[in-house]
Amino acid sequence: MDTLMHAPKTAAKNANAPLLEVSNLSTEFATYAGTLSAVDGVSLSLQPGEVFGIVGESGSGKSVTALSIMGLIKKPGRVTGGTVRFKDEANLLDKTPAEMRKIRGGQISMIFQEPMTSLNPVFRIGWQIAEVLQIHREMTRTEAWERAIHLLDRVGIASPAKRAREFPHQLSGGMRQRVMIAMAMACAPSLLFADEPTTALDVTVQAQILDLMVQLKEEDGAAVMLITHDMGVIAEMAQKVAVMYAGVVMEEATVEELFDSPLHPYTQGLLDSIPRKKSRGQSLKAIPGIVPNLLHLPTGCRFRDRCAAAHSACALADPPLQTMPNSTRKVRCWLHHPEPPK
């Protein structure tokens, strides 16, 4: 089972090795009711410059996966296993907090959903950007301030020198997210985590921010791990997609493969639940039931209770994430496994 869960090395034959390679990452949270596995053996790999989407519903473990990679899991959470290879670093999970602080904000940076809670309300936004540069690029205050104004200009904020002196509450939601992006891109990172970067924004502002992210990513050549629940955002932005459910990756494919021919019943269900032009006048094909409690996962496949295609094998064992023949697609389902248990 272990061998099946590791990513195939077909990509490594290319000259460009993956930028980030996550193997068997597991993160647990201790609760009064027991220990739950929020991330349960996740393996992913990202090529330089790629936009990799992680899509899933609340509680699927998509944000915890990103926080675990960045070393930002706090008690009562704990990363219990796996390796995170990043560039020449053999395993980010072995780094001390001080070493991780050097990497975060420099080579790896992040944008979160709610810019109001990630910006410090009592500091001028210019200084918040300048601080990143003073720490990671050892610039002087004056140099860093000048650079911060340049960065604000680059993310499309009008009169940046004036705006730099303002506080977060003086900016609109879209502008705050632009400030977060300016901060994240300040040190030209090679990897950007974007966790629901546009979920709190209106659709017209979302379009502006997505465009900005694409533009900056292309200028700087950064890879992006885009975490979202929105299949529309995934379709527009990502090249590869992993679908997560209850702490595991259910399916991984290129964005075209995933939307054209989803293999996992959960992915099919997710895509069918989206209201579209065609669905008007008919019922939506909803997935019955609710996401399982991570403390009481069903035996066998964790999607089995809600799955229309569930059969006897599904109760017997948890299917492995398996690579499809002649393809780089992966799917965790006994329907697509050559030897399901009997």
Partner 1 sequence: MSQPSQAPAPLLQVSDLKRYFDVKNSLLSGKSGHLRAVDGVTFNVTAGETLGLVGESGCGKSTLGRVVSRLLPATDGEILFEGRDIIDIDRKALLALRADIQSVFQDPSASLNPRMTAFNLIAEPLVIQKIGTRASRRDKVLDLLETVGLRREFADRYPHEFSGGQRQRIGIARALALDPKLLILDEPVSALDVSIQAQIINLLEDLQKRLDLTYLFISHDLSVVQHVADRVAVMYMGQIVELADNEAFYANPQHPYSIALLSALPLPDPTIARKRILLEGDLPDPANLPQGCRFQSRCAHVTDRCRVGPEPEMQEISPGHIARCHNLADIHAPIEQKQTA
Cβ nearer to partner 1, comparing 26 with 208: 208
Candidate list 116, 139, 291, 316; residue touching partner 1; CB under 8 A: 291
Beta carbon of residue 99, minimum distance to partner 1 (angstroms, whole number) = 37
Residue 277 makes contact with partner 1 by CB under 8 A: yes
Work out which of 38, 84, 151, 270 binds partner 1, going by CB under 8 A. Answer: 270
Query: What does the block give as tokens for 90?
Result: 């053999």
Given 20, 69, 175, 253, the residue binding partner 1 (CB under 8 A): 175
Nearest approach in angstroms of CB 72 to partner 1 is 24
Q: Are 321 and 43 in contact (CB under 8 A)?
A: yes
> Does the footprint of partner 1 cover residue 335 (CB under 8 A)?
no
Q: Binders of partner 1 among 222-241, rule CB under 8 A?
A: 229-236
- Rule CB under 8 A: is residue 211 a binding residue for partner 1? yes
Tell me whether residue 122 or residue 203 sits nearer to partner 1 (CB atom).
Answer: 203
Residue 186 C-beta: closest distance to partner 1, Å: 23
In order of 188, 191, 226, 278, 336, the CA distances from 53 in angstroms are 20, 13, 5, 25, 23
Q: How many Å separate Cα 254 from the centre of its chain?
A: 15
Is position 159 an interface residue for partner 1 (rule: CB under 8 A)?
no
Q: Does 273 bind partner 1 (CB under 8 A)?
A: yes
Q: Does 94 bind partner 1 (CB under 8 A)?
A: no
| Total residues interacting with partner 1, rule: CB under 8 A | 45
Within residues 315-334, the interface with partner 1 by CB under 8 A covers none
Listed in sequence order, the residues at least 6 apart from 299 whose beta carbon sits closer than 8 Å to its beta carbon are 315
Sites for partner 1 among residues 20-79 (CB under 8 A):
57-58
Which of 192, 222, 225, 287 lies at the binding interface for partner 1 (CB under 8 A)?
A: 287
Determine if 125 is a binding residue for partner 1 (CB under 8 A). Answer: no
CB nearer partner 1, residue 267 or residue 322: 267
Instruction: Name the site residues for partner 1 (rule: CB under 8 A).
Output: 57-58, 172, 174-175, 202-208, 210-211, 229-236, 255-256, 259-260, 269-277, 279-280, 283-288, 290-291
